[in-house]
Structure 1
Amino acid sequence: MPITIKVNTNGPLMISAADAPSVILTDSTGAVIPLPEGKNVFLCRCGASSRKPFCDGTHKSNGFDGTCITAMQNLG
């Protein structure tokens, strides 16, 4: 099964993968950040999470507007 990254409306990025070991998340130094096996992972986009890089739901109360333009517009 492919890895899917979904941009949730005004919320986090959701990473879905049937095989968690195929997804590797690292910090800026290259150190691996462990991911839970077989579960979706939610990465913060609002910048206010107390669990960065993971989402803690803060976007629901801080007025985060995560409106994205379409991929084709972004590439041009």
Structure 2
Amino acid sequence: MDPQGPILIEGPVEIVLEDGTVARSDRFVAALCTCRRSRVYPWCDTSHRRRARPPSPRDDRRSR
């Protein structure tokens, strides 16, 4: 599981956004964006995957 990834919930679902707008999904599973990078917010479009991650200490040791 990706901590920056979406929250999966069973649908159909209605989400009330901060501005009072209601977003609806008729899908049997809806992916809610948690990173706020999605172009179709509140639904996830996998934008979280495009973020470059800093190398881990383990990766630094391999490159030496």
Could you tell me which of 15, 27, 36 is aligned with 1:47?
A: 36
Compute the TM-score of the two structures, normalised by the length of structure 2. 0.61
Aligned residues: 52
**What stretches of structure 1 of length at least 5 have no aligned partner?**
1-7, 65-76
Q: Indicate yes or no: 2:10 matched with 1:16.
A: yes
Question: Aligned to 1:60, what secondary structure does the other structure show?
Answer: helix
TM-score, normalised to structure 1, is 0.54
Equivalent AA in structure 1 for residue 25 of structure 2: L
The structure with more strand, counted as a fraction of residues = 2
Counterpart residue type for residue 12 of structure 1: P
Give the superposed CA RMSD.
Answer: 2.1
**Which residue does 1:25 correspond to in 2?**
15
